[in-house]
A and B are shown apart, each in its own frame.
Chain A
Amino acid sequence: MIIAIASGKGGTGKTTVATSLAVCLDAPVQLLDCDVEEPNAHIFLKPENPRIRRVTTMVPQVDAERCNLCGKCRRICQFNAIMILGDTVMTFPEMCHSCYGCLMVCPEAAISESFREIGELVSGSAGNVELVYGRLRVGEAMSPPLIQEVKAQHNSDLPAIIDAPPGTSCPVVTALTGVDFVVLVTEPTPFGFNDLVLAVGAVRSMQLPFGIVINRCDSGDRQVARYAEKEKIPILMEIPDQRKIAENYSRGVVPVDADDGLRTAFRDLYRDILTRI
C-alpha cells in the first residue's frame, strides 16, 4: 500500500505531512522521498548510518575501430545525443535518455553500454521509519530514472509513504504512477489554489483516488475550500497556521514529535485514508 504526498506548489508542507504521517504510525513504515532534486525528509528523520549507493543510467560508448560512420545511430537518436563531425562520432551523455536505439541500430556492433552517474540512493532507519531517498547529482537534468530507483526500494510487506516533488510534470507523474492514494497538500492562497487545480488535473488524468490537506488553513482565503466542495474532493485535514509548527519545522523537528494533539490528528488522517483505498 502506497500513499503519496504531492502538491502543485512548492513549500506548502508536503514534507511536514509525509514525515508526520510516517512517524505517528508507531509501526514499521517506509518513507520514500522522491523529491530527488531537493530531498528534505532526512533533515527531520536523521537516519542512523545511512547506506549510500551510486545510481547510474546507460549511455552509449562508440568503438571508433568498429564504427564505419554510417550515421544510423545519429539518425535514430531523438535527443541530439550523437553527432558525427568529420570522421568522429561524438556522444553527449547528458542528452541521452537511455533508449538503447543506437545500440540496437548499429550494424557493426560498435556501440556498447557505458554509464552516467545521475545521483545517489540513500537509505537508513529512524525509529519505526525506514527512509529511502534519492539525491540527484548537481548538474544532472533527468530526475525520473532516480525517482524510479527510489520507488524500486519499496518493500511490499510494509506500507509506504511517498514524498513527491512539486509541480505537475514528468517527475511528479513518475513519483505518482502506481500509488494507491494521493494526498494533495495546499495552502489557502491564490497561488496555492491555482497550483492545486493543476495538481488535481494531473491526479485525475492518472485516475488516482485523492484528497486534500489544507495547511496554514486560517491564513488566506476560502477559495480552496469552496473549490473542494464544488468538485466533491474530500478535505482530509486542516492544519492551523501556528508559529510553533513553523519554528519546529525550521529546526528540523517533525511537528508531531512536539505536539500530541497533532499526532492524534495525523493518526486519524492515516485511518481515514485507509478507508478510502
Chain B
Amino acid sequence: MKELVIISGKGGTGKTSITAGFAALAENKVIVDADVDAADLHLVLHPEVRRTTEFMGGHIAVIDSEKCTGCGECLQRCQFGAVSGDFRVDARACEGCGVCVHFCPEKAIAFPERVCGRWFVSETALGPMVHARLGIAEENSGLLVSLLRKEAKALAEERKLDTLIVDGPPGIGCPVISALTGADAVLIISEPTLSGLHDLERAANLAAFLKVPAMVCVNKYDINPAITERIEAFAARQGIRSVGRIPYDREVTAAMVALKNLVAHSDGPAATAVRGLWQAVSTQLHDGSEVSKT
C-alpha cells in the first residue's frame, strides 16, 4: 500500500482542488481529508457518511464547587492560566495535564475525557473517504490526523485497496507532522509568490526532517514565471522532483463554485495539467520509491 500526502506550507495554494482531482484519477484508493481544522474536500466529493465516531482528545479538569475549599493549590500549580480566581476551569486554556487533579487536597477536581470532534467513514462516488470535524476552538488536531490515517489504512486493507490519498493541513506544525510521519511520499503544492517560496522551503525542510520523499508542483505558475523558476531551482538543489506546473485558469474557481470536481467539470488548461500531474505523481509513488530503495 502507498500513501501520498498533499501539503502546501502556505494555505490557499490549491491543495484541495488538486487532491479532489487525484481522487477522481486514481484507482483503488481511500481518500483522507486530514485538514481537520478547516476541512473542505467534502464540499467537492459529497461523501455519504456511513459511520460517525466521537473523537476523544485527552482530558479536561472540572472543579466541583461543592467540594472546593478555595485553598488555591490548583491556581498556583497550573502552568496554563486555566484556573480562574473563583476556581473555574477555562476549557480553552486547560491543557489536560492533570496536575491540579493530582494535587487538590479535597479531591474536588474531576478529570473526564473531552470530546474534541467527530470523525467519519463515508462513501463517495470515487471511493471510500475518511474525514473529520474538529470541534470549534478545540485541540489535539495532530492526534485526530493520526487516527484518520490509521483508520484509512485499515479500511484500505479490508477492501484490498492499494493507495491512500491524503489532503493535508497547511503550516508545518503538529497536524502536518502527524499527516507526514511515515508516509510514502509528499506532494507540496506551491504558488509563484515570495510567500509561496518561503513557505515551500519550510515545508520541504519538514519533509526532509521526517525523511518523506517530496515532490513539488507550482500552481498558477504563470502568475509570476520568474518565481516559478526559483521554486523549481530550489527543489532541484534539494533533490526534490518537480512534477508539474498548473496554469492560472478561472475554471478552477468555477468548478469550486459549482461544487464540482475540476477534472470532471473541465477540459481547460488547469484540468489538463492536473491529469498530467497525477500521471507523474502516481509513477513516482508506485515505482519511484522502489527504485530509490534498491
Contact = CB atoms under 8 A, between A and B. Distances in A.
Interface residues of B, number: 59
Interface stretch (A84-92, A95-103, A232-240, A262-270): A95-103
A171 B138 CA distance: 10
Contact of B98 (A10, A40, A78, A246): A78
Contacts of A202: 136-137
Interface in B1-49: 8-13, 16, 37-38, 40, 43
Nearest to B41: A191
Interface in B200-231: 202, 205-206, 209-210, 223-224, 227
A37 interface: yes
A76 B102 contact: yes
Interface string B75-118: 00101100000000000110111110011000000000000000
Interface in A214-238: 219-221
A31 to B, nearest CB: 15
Nearest to A143: B173
A251 B193 CA distance: 6
B97 A189 contact: no
Contacts of A158: none
B256 A190 contact: yes
Given A189-B257, A191-B16, A250 B192 contact: yes
A204 to B, nearest CB: 9
Contacts, number: 177
Contacts of A198: 37-38, 136
B247 interface: no
Contacts of A166: 11, 37-38, 170-171
A37 B10 CA distance: 9
Given A78-B59, A172-B137, A246-B223, 9 more contacts: A11-B10, A40-B199, A76-B99, A104-B99, A138-B202, A141-B173, A142-B173, A168-B37, A250-B196
Contacts of B177: 139, 141
Interface in A134-191: 136, 138-143, 165-173, 177, 189-191
Interface of B: 8-13, 16, 37-38, 40, 43, 58-59, 77, 79-80, 92-93, 95-99, 102-103, 134, 136-139, 141-142, 169-174, 176-177, 192-196, 198-199, 202, 205-206, 209-210, 223-224, 227, 253, 256-257, 259
B171 A169 contact: no
B138 to A, nearest CB: 6
Contacts of B174: 141-143
A74 interface: no
A272 interface: no
Nearest to A41: B195
Contacts of A194: 38, 40, 43
A247 B96 CA distance: 45
B257 A8 contact: no
Contacts of B95: 97, 99
B287 to A, nearest CB: 29
A252 interface: yes
A78 B103 CA distance: 15
B138 A221 contact: no
Contacts of A141: 142, 173-174, 177
A139 B209 contact: yes
Pick from A142, A189, A191, A201 the residue with the most CB of B within 10 Å: A191
A56 B224 CA distance: 38
Interface in A43-64: 43
